[in-house]
Amino acid sequence: MVQQWVAKNNLELIGILEARFQLANDKAVQMGLGLQGWDFISNYGQNSKCRILLGWNPQRVSLQMVNLNTQWVTCDVVSLSDSWCIRVTMVYALNTPAERSTLWEYLLSQQATCGDDPWVVLGDFNATISTADRHGGDTNWYGHMDDFPNCINQAELLQISAKGLHFTWHNGQQNEATILRKLNWAFANRRLLLEWPQVQATFQARLASDHSPTLITLTPDRHRPKTRFKFLNLWADMEGYEAAVQAAWATETHGNPISRLTTKLRVLKGHLSNLHRKHTNYISSRVKQAQDRWQEAQAGMEVEESFYKQRSRVHWLKLGDKNTAFFHRSVLHRRHRNAIHSLRKEDGVEERDREELGKMAASHFKDILSSNRQEPLGSMAHLYPSLIACPGLYLEELSFLPAFLKGQASSGSDMSPIQPFPPPVYAWPPPGGDPEEYSVNISD
């Protein structure tokens, strides 16, 4: 029966669900199908019994396994004659809602993995999308029944245009005991429908199984209807529109007025078509690309702002306030403030060349850090300038201090506020003097 069905429909790939044979009978079952020269894979490794058996004609297609599980088998199928490639997921879902949750999660993950690759998902999902897919038996709609339609929507899968039976499963009973369900489905992603707009699913009459066989036909769209020209109002606001109209209307034509008008409109149509291809063709893809570039630019701006904040050492401003210009100015100001523009040489000449400044700085610190020569104390006096400048005041003018102290001691004065102690005078050492020669012993 399978052999006849394959030959009748000229199939290249088949999936047999609910096979339920043991691993030991694998070869015998494949031989019994009568498909000479075909290759097969199954998911028996995920279960004690085979639930999904996949077969293909290696003379017409090649198959690469992607993933298999108790409830699905996913593979990439490549045509050897036309070189097209599609991803196929054959599904045989388990019976309980909890068990099927794994299948829904997998389909959602595959949606991100496939990207722009054509993808077909078909098989027995053991679930319905709406109440219209149920007849007889329990027709109540329970909460878990939303999982399947929600998964299909989130995975951005679309039902393939179908013909044949609507209810694909029959319980085998008659009259009031009859229960009908649509459990077999065929979906495709947007990419597949763009490449094969005439793809169709056929749910045929039930044969030996209680499920309807599903046939997917991929017909190349070799005779696409010619698209009609439509004027887009947004063209009128675009740069180059007026020039295109003027160029078309300036075209030299011959014939009666109606013929000349028709000719100019035809020329204008060509100009506008070029304008469309340049600016508005595939506008959705262009918008998506522009959004991606905008997000990259936003991320770059945030990185730049954080970078300049750290460089400027300004921590009291929060990121996100678009303060990059302020941070940049802060960096420039700090760099300008800390810059060394000139140094004075030992001969008094001012040096401004950057290379010479670097050499002078390196030489200066090298002498300081590497010299073992002990400098006399007097030569370091310029490093400690007086806190109060008192020009003309020398150490001999402080000779009144010992006499003043002795007078206070003999009188027993406690240095009351009426006779305050003279404030200290910082005029040490005298200009050009040696500190060692002008030490004062206050105790005398």
Of the listed ranges 75-89, 130-144, 234-248, 326-340, the one predicted with least confidence: 326-340
Residue range 332-358: mean pLDDT, rounded? 79
Q: What percent of the chain has pLDDT over 90?
A: 23
Cα within 13 Å of Cα(24), Cβ side: 0
pLDDT by residue (tens digit) across 366-415? 878 775 655 555 555 555 555 554 444 444 445 555 555 555 555 554 54
Give me the phi and psi of 9, to 5 degrees please: -100, 5
List the single range of 316-320, 328-332, 353-357 with lowest mean pLDDT: 316-320
**Domain chopping of the chain, boundaries:** 2-217, 233-283, 298-336
pLDDT over 50 (residue 418): no
Give the model's confidence band at 440: pLDDT under 50 very low, under 70 low, under 90 confident, else very high. Answer: very low
Percent of the chain with pLDDT over 70: 73
In the structure encoding, which two tokens stand for residue 45, read together? Answer: 């490794």
* Whether residue 242 has pLDDT greater than 90: no
Mean pLDDT value across the chain: 78
Across the range 299-328, mean pLDDT stands at: 66
Residue 227's pLDDT is 67
Element (H, E) at 404: helix 400-410
Higher pLDDT, 308 or 340: 340
Residue 86: the pLDDT is 92
pLDDT band at 236 (very low <50, low <70, confident <90, very high): confident
Whether the predicted pLDDT of 99 surpasses 80: yes
Task: Give the chain's count of helices (H) and strands (E).
Answer: 11, 17
Q: How far apart are CA 136 and CA 138, in angstroms?
A: 7
Q: Is the pLDDT of residue 444 over 50?
A: no
Looking at residue 379, its pLDDT comes to 55
Average pLDDT on 229-240 reads 82
What is the CATH class of 2-217?
Answer: alpha beta
DSSP for 196-255 reads -TT-EEEEPPP-SSSB--EEEE-----SPPPPPP---GGGGGSTTHHHHHHHHHTS---S
pLDDT at position 281 is 75
Evaluate if residue 306 carries a pLDDT over 90: no
Quick one: average pLDDT of 316-342?
65
SS3 63: strand
